[in-house]
Chain A
Amino acid sequence: MRAVSPAQARKPAPPIEGEAGARARLSLAEFLLGTDEARECAQGTVDWLAQAGARRAICALIDGETGKVKDVLARGVPDSQLRGLTIALEDPQDPLVFALAGPEPVPLSAKRRRPAIFGRDDLLALPLPVSEKREARLGLLLVSLAGGELEAQARWAAELLGQKLSRLRSQTALLEGEHRLARERELLLSIINASPDPILLTDTEGRMIISNARADALFSAKDGESEGRHRAVALNNMLFSATLSQQAIDESGAARRELLLVSPSEGSDLLFELLSSVVQHPREGTCVVSILRNVTDLRAATEQIEENYRKLKLAEADVRAERDRLDLIIDSVADPILVTDPSGKILLMNSPAERLFTAPDDPAGNDDAQRVVRSNDAHFSSFVTNLFLTPGAGMRWRAEILLTDPAELQPLPVEAIAGKVLSEHGEVTAVVTILHDRTEALEKARLYEQLKAASAQLEERVREATAELVRRNELLQRQHLALEQGSQLKSQFLANMSHEFRTPLNAILGYTSMLLGGVSGAVTPPQKVKLERIDSNGKHLLSIINDILDISRIEAGKMPLHLEEFELPTLIGELLAEVEPLLQKAKLRTVTEIDELPPLLSDRQKVKQIVLNLLTNAIKFTPQGLVRVRATTDADECNALISVQDTGIGIAEQDHEEVFEDFRQADNSVTREYGGAGLGLSICRRLATMLGGRIELQSKLGQGSTFTLVIPRRGKRR
């Protein structure tokens, strides 16, 4: 408000006393009430005093902060004098300072030497406000007292102005405080807004009291912003409150935890680290200061690091396993493996190598073993050296070294194969050597030599044997030839013999027959009997010759088979007709039991010869009774069975086999009695075999015999 001083308003000067005086005092009071500025108040008061009659009135305002004179306002004083007014506040001897500090208004005598500003009149110095203490004095009012009632007026005006100044001062102080507070608050807010982390002050329920811009971005939404943002903000507030309450606000101070929020602008998840601490506020009570730190990226980074670490661990484990495997492999190789530096110093070796190049840890001190190990070492070193010295050794080098087994003290020839290990720059960093035990190989070579010698020997023997074999073979061939010739000769001999026998027999039998036939006239009965003897013996001789010839032919393989189909009943009929005279002569009955059979395929002539022989035998050896001829097939109808059964003398069990042998009858005595050369059954058996069959015999001595010819119904040419 712009106050108008009373003088400027050209109001009439206030009367000193009475009603007029009261009105004058009221105008000053009103002016002061309506003015809020210290200088104007002071000017008004000075003006009023001048109006009241004071020739001079001066008001010095003192700055409460600095304690120095701030303004000097005066009436009745030339401006030039006014500028010279100073109050040396630090000088206690200065009458103005004294007046300012004193409890009462102080008269300043005009007799004393003083600045021109005071004029010639006595002055009354009134401290403002009077009632206050010296430190709180805000100014000094100097009034010339020339004039009757002026002192009282000055005292009152000083009282009033002092109060006003005091009030103004405290008002100013309040305003300044408010301004400072607002500025500090703005600063504070700009500080917390400057923080990249959301910062909130909330009550314990999580309701916002103060928040910075970052926090607002997460936790507040204005009307008109998107629905999504409103929802995200509501969710964030809920999550935040929940987290705070879960925290159960540890009174001891800051608590730290993770909080997952939603970004209202992007909708993505944001992970925060929540630092909250409880503060006690005189008015708000218990509050919580929370600082959120975005650790989304941090968490991702942490996870990445953990993942990397895990991978590293795995890789390390792999490498370790690989190395263990390699160790295992190297150790499991039965051959010694050594890694040396180029000078031959051993860097690494596997356990088989250790056995050769490390002295056994024997407290007794096996000198031999020590010596052997040193010797081995020397041999090996020289081998490695050769690798470098030998021109053209190249990357690989192979040599044989004679080592010694330290344990057995036996010579150990080994084949050493060395390879150079090169660095990136092509320098030899190490030499890897594998030793291979040659003992076995040498032994094998020795055995191989032996084997070769033995083989050569064997070959020689085989050659000899082969030669011998060839020789024998030739011999055999010659013998075979001789045998064949012999066989040929035998056949020829037999043929000749047969011919030579038959030729005289032809004459004997022929002439006998002629004599008996009466060609040379009648013969007497005794002559006839003798001729008949000649005839029968001649015929017997002929049958023997025929039998021998048959056996010879069979054995020489010159008895051909003539397979043909024929009816068995017809054949048996022919046979019975042939032996009918013999049967009648022996007075034997015959019985035939012939099944109906399909035609046989066999050699009819030979079947006939066999059965005829069986029949004549049966008749010959049966004094009385009957002869039974039976023809049938066996169970599976493969074979035809032709049996001739008699009631004759029979054959003892032990002779069953003998009767089929050459020149045999069961009993030699019988041969004489019954005649025959004993070749019949032996020929029968041979012929049956030729036909693919056999002859079976069932008989007991004195109980007759049954001979059965068994032949295939469909014979095969052999």
Chain B
Amino acid sequence: MSAVAETPRRPLVLVVDDFADNREMYCEYLSFCGYDVIEARNGAEALEEARSRMPDIIIMDLSLPVMDGWEATRRLKDDDRTRMIPVVALTGHALAGHSQVARDAGCDSFLAKPCLPDQLVAEIKRMLESGKASIEAKR
């Protein structure tokens, strides 16, 4: 559980979840692990935060009030400014097909709840590494 203290800028993670306990738990752990964290309680907030703060990665719950995660993801991916931001779907919907629907909506990765905080961190690391690699490849 080493922090990423030496990096010039800590990666910014947007955690979207309507259930405060889970959102705050992940936020606390991600902060503990050395990430900058911002929160959103529904899809609409998520869109607003994403556009205003341009996070490095978005952890998106799918069942959300106001605007659900799928719709929010679709809009993020339709928007040129936010298209590059990886979206990791994190949902309690474990039934078959849910992951596919999530991917169809534009999610780059899928995690089923319950998901332990360290599992989530491992996935974020993985996504950021592969994102860096793909950016470097583009360069």
As a 0/1 sequence over residues 668 to 690 of chain A, the CB contacts with chain B under 8 angstroms (1 = contact) are 00000000000000000000000
Task: Kindly provide the distance from the CB of A547 to the nearest chain B CB, expressed in whole angstroms.
Answer: 12
As a 0/1 sequence over residues 536 to 573 of chain A, the CB contacts with chain B under 8 angstroms (1 = contact) are 00100010001001000100001110000000000000
Bound-complex Cα distance A506 to B111 (A): 12
The contact size tier of chain A is: 20 to 34
B96 near A553 with CB under 8 A, answer yes
A506 near B22 with CB under 8 A, answer yes
Judged by a CB distance under 8 angstroms, whether A507 is at the interface is yes
Bound-complex Cα distance A510 to B118 (A): 9
A553 cross-chain contacts in B, Cβ below 8 A: 95-96
**Chain A residue at minimal CB-CB distance from B94:** A498
Task: Kindly provide the distance from the CB of B78 to the nearest chain A CB, expressed in whole angstroms.
Answer: 26
A510 near B95 with CB under 8 A, answer no
Contact of B25 among A491, A505, A514 (CB under 8 A): A514
**Chain B residue at minimal CB-CB distance from A549:** B94
- Segment touching A, from B26-34, B44-52, B79-87, B127-135: B26-34
A538 cross-chain contacts in B, Cβ below 8 A: 114
Bound-complex Cα distance A491 to B98 (A): 13
B25 near A511 with CB under 8 A, answer yes
Judged by a CB distance under 8 angstroms, whether B63 is at the interface is yes
B117 cross-chain contacts in A, Cβ below 8 A: 510, 513-514, 517, 519
As a 0/1 sequence over residues 59 to 94 of chain B, the CB contacts with chain A under 8 angstroms (1 = contact) are 000010000000000000000000000000001111
Q: Interface on chain A toward B: helix, strand, loop, or mixed SS? A: helix
A559 cross-chain contacts in B, Cβ below 8 A: 96
A514 cross-chain contacts in B, Cβ below 8 A: 25, 28-29, 32, 117
Judged by a CB distance under 8 angstroms, whether B113 is at the interface is yes
A517 near B118 with CB under 8 A, answer yes
B63 near A499 with CB under 8 A, answer yes
Contact of A509 among B28, B29, B114 (CB under 8 A): B114
B96 near A509 with CB under 8 A, answer no
A511 cross-chain contacts in B, Cβ below 8 A: 25
A510 near B92 with CB under 8 A, answer no
Bound-complex Cα distance A546 to B96 (A): 12
**Chain B residue at minimal CB-CB distance from A505:** B114
- Beyond A506-B114, A513-B118, A560-B96, is A499–B28 a contact (Cβ under 8 Å)? no
Judged by a CB distance under 8 angstroms, whether B122 is at the interface is no
Bound-complex Cα distance A300 to B53 (A): 148
A558 cross-chain contacts in B, Cβ below 8 A: 95-96
The interface centre, meaning the residue of A495, A500, A505, A538 with most chain B CB atoms within 10 A of its CB, is: A495
Task: Kindly provide the distance from the CB of A436 to the nearest chain B CB, expressed in whole angstroms.
Answer: 81
Task: Kindly provide the distance from the CB of A542 to the nearest chain B CB, expressed in whole angstroms.
Answer: 6
B22 near A499 with CB under 8 A, answer no
Judged by a CB distance under 8 angstroms, whether B21 is at the interface is yes
- Beyond A507-B22, A507-B25, A511-B25, is A495–B93 a contact (Cβ under 8 Å)? yes
Bound-complex Cα distance A238 to B1 (A): 161
Task: Kindly provide the distance from the CB of A149 to the nearest chain B CB, expressed in whole angstroms.
Answer: 209
Bound-complex Cα distance A505 to B29 (A): 17
Task: Kindly provide the distance from the CB of A242 to the nearest chain B CB, expressed in whole angstroms.
Answer: 131
Bound-complex Cα distance A477 to B93 (A): 31
Task: Kindly provide the distance from the CB of A568 to the nearest chain B CB, expressed in whole angstroms.
Answer: 25
A503 near B93 with CB under 8 A, answer no
B96 cross-chain contacts in A, Cβ below 8 A: 553, 558-560
Contact of B92 among A494, A499, A517, A560 (CB under 8 A): A499
Bound-complex Cα distance A503 to B90 (A): 11
Bound-complex Cα distance A542 to B115 (A): 11
A510 near B94 with CB under 8 A, answer no
Task: Kindly provide the distance from the CB of A622 to the nearest chain B CB, expressed in whole angstroms.
Answer: 30
A509 near B116 with CB under 8 A, answer yes
Bound-complex Cα distance A519 to B3 (A): 12
**Chain A residue at minimal CB-CB distance from B18:** A503
Task: Kindly provide the distance from the CB of A164 to the nearest chain B CB, expressed in whole angstroms.
Answer: 187
Contact of A542 among B22, B32, B95, B114 (CB under 8 A): B114
Closest 7 CB pairs of A and B: A502-B92, A499-B92, A506-B114, A506-B113, A507-B21, A502-B113, A513-B116
Interface of A toward B, CB cutoff 8 Å: 491, 494-495, 498-511, 513-514, 517, 519, 538, 542, 546, 549, 553, 558-560
